[in-house]
Structures are given as C-alpha cells and as structure tokens.
Amino acid sequence: MAHTTDETLTVLVYSDDRNTREQVTLALGRRPAADLPAIEYLECATTPAVLKALERGGVDLCVLDGEAVPAGGLGLTRQLKDEIYGCPPVLVLIGRPQDSWLAAWSRADAAVSHPVDPVALASAATTLLTARVARRTPAHH
C-alpha cells in the first residue's frame, strides 16, 4: 500500500532522561519500516507534557520509559489506558526482562528492556504502528 508523502505518524517519547529519548528516536529513525509513513517525534520529559500531548490527539504510538522519575512509564501507561478513550498503543521500556509482568500489569501493548536494543525497539514499534495505520486507513473496495 502506497502512502502519500505528506502522511506522517506521530510517536510520543517520554523519559526524564534526554539520552533515553535520543536512543529511542535514533533507534526508530525517520521510518522504522519501508511500508510505514515517516515518523515525527514528540519528546516529553514530564507526565503533564504527555497528558497534554495526548489530549491534543494525533499521537499514533507512545514509547514510555518505565525507569523515568519521578513518574515511571509503567504507572503512566496504566493511567493512560484507564483515562484516555482510544488511547494510542503504548510501548514501554522496562529495566529488566524480569519486569515484563509489570508491563502486563500496566496494560502496555509491548515492552522492550533497557538498554535500548534498536532492532527490538524498531520491530515492536513497527508492529504497533502497522496495526495503527491499518485501523485508521479506510478499506478500499
């Protein structure tokens, strides 16, 4: 399926750590998969910034740092899933693979462990974004 050049996906990246946000944006790049539109990033360092961005709408994927302080991405994920109607898919970065139960508790759509593995992150993000694009693209008969 061909995409128009002006179509973009918005990925919100939340972490209090600028280096973590940078690792995520570098790992995903402008286009994590050839069949996806280009990505625009919305970087947030605080919970209020995340909530404000989601209230505005237009976010296609949230990548939240589970290790962020003071508000970790796992608790934030659960809050978003509870409070935001039609919450976009959420990918959480977890401290250790053993923390995957926390990701399940938070109702995250996917989890990747720190340090950021660019291949794993791009793969998980591509899966979520592809499903998101498929849902918002009207079926052509």
Q: What is the pLDDT of residues 23-74, one digit of tens each?
A: 999 999 999 898 999 999 999 999 999 999 999 999 999 999 999 998 899 9
Calpha distance 118→124 (Å, rounded): 10
Q: Which residues pair with 41 in a beta bridge?
A: 11
List, in order, residues 6 or more apart from 13 with CB less than 8 Å away: 21, 24, 25, 41, 42, 43, 44, 63
Residues 89 and 62 sit within 8 Å (Cβ to Cβ) = yes
Residues 110 and 139 sit within 8 Å (Cβ to Cβ) = no
User: What average pLDDT does the chain have?
Assistant: 90
**Domains of the chain, start order:** 8-135 (3.40.50.2300)
The mean pLDDT of 77-104, rounded to a whole number, is 92
